[in-house]
Structure 1
C-alpha cells in the first residue's frame, strides 16, 4: 500500500523490488509538475548509492535502483534506504528555488502536405487556418513528460480554442517531426510511427537521434515555442541535416 511521506499529497509505493513510485497528486497541473521537476533536479545533482534511473511523468516520479548495491550487499533493507534518501530530497526540494526552465524553439511549416489536418482543425474550431496557426505558435508549452515513443514530448498549455479530438481512424505511418493535436494536447512525433493525432505541421528538427550524446532533444521541464517557417526554410534545414 502507498505510504504517506513528508507532504500530505505525496505517497511512496514500491514498484517490484527495484523501484519506488512517488505519487504527487491525481491531476495534471503546473504546481505538481514543478514539485516533480524540483526533485528530479536534486536527483541529478545528488545521486545516491545504487541509483539507476528516474522517470518523471504527469503526476509521478519513478526512481529505479540497484537493491543489492543500495543495501550494501544485503546488510540493510534497500527499500527503506531509498525511501530515506528520497524523503530527504523531497524536503530539500520544498525549500529550493527551481532552476530556470530551458526554452526550446521548434520551427514548424504549417499546413499543406506537412499538416494535412490543419483545415479540419480550423473547421472544428470555427476559425480560419491563419488564426489556428497564430494561436498554436503564440503559446508557451510545458514539457510534462517524454513517452509513447523515444523523444516524444507531452506538452501542456495549449489554447482550448484549438483543441480537437483524435482521428477516428489512426494513420498507419506518420513522418517524424509531424506536429499534431489530440484533444487538449499538442505534441511532436519524434520518430516515424502510427498515430491518430490531427497533423497541423512538421518541423525539420530531429527530436530523437540515437547518435547524439543526449538522444532526446527535449526533456521534462523544458518549455517549447513553435515558430512558423516557410516550406523553403523547411527544405533548406532538412538539407543541412542530411
Structure 2
C-alpha cells in the first residue's frame, strides 16, 4: 500500500495513475485521442469530479511541453474565434458539474464523441468548399469544447472535429490545439480549486510524482508523430477518437 497524505493507494493504482500521466504526455504532443482512454480509468479510481481535478494539472504540464515544441505552428486566427465562447463554456461546465452525476455525464459525452466522429468521417468525404469555416461554427465548437473540457477533460474530440474541419496541416493542427488547451486549462484551475474543491495539496503531490511519466509520454508522442505523414495522421486522430468512443460505453 502506498501512503500519500490522505491517499492510501495500492501500488497497482499508483501504476494506473502513472499510465494516465504517460498517456496525457503523449496526447499533448500529437497522439490525440489516447488521453480519452485514460479518462474512464482515472474516474473509476477517484470518481468523476475528483479525477477531473487530479488530471487537470497533468494536462497543464503536458500542454507546456506541447507549446514549447509546437508553438511556432499555431494558427491564431482560429484561436481568437474559439476563446470567447470556450470561456463561456467553462463557466457553464462549472455550474453543470455540480448538478450532473457521473452516469449522466458519461452518456452525454459518449453521444458527443460519437457525433464528432461521424462528422469527422463526413468531412473526409466532403468537398473542401463545404468546410464550415464560419464564425458561428467556431463559436459552437468553442462553447461545446469549453463545457466538455470543464466537466471531464474531454474536449479533445470537439477540437479534433473543428481543427480537422479547417484542414490544418499536421504540425499546425497540433500547435493550435496546444495553445488552445494551455490557455483554457489554466483558466479552469481556479474553478477546480474554489468551486469544486477537486484540487488540493494531496492531488498536487500525486501530480508532482507523475511528472517524469508525463515527460516520457511527451517525448514518445513527438517521436510517433514525426513518423506519421499528414494524410495518415488525420486518420490516426479519427481512429483514436473511435476507440475512445467505444471504450466510453464499455
TM-score (norm: length of structure 2): 0.24
Give the number of the structure whose residues are more often helix, by fraction: 2
Q: Which has the higher contact order (CA 8 A, sep 6+)?
A: 2
Higher Rg: 1
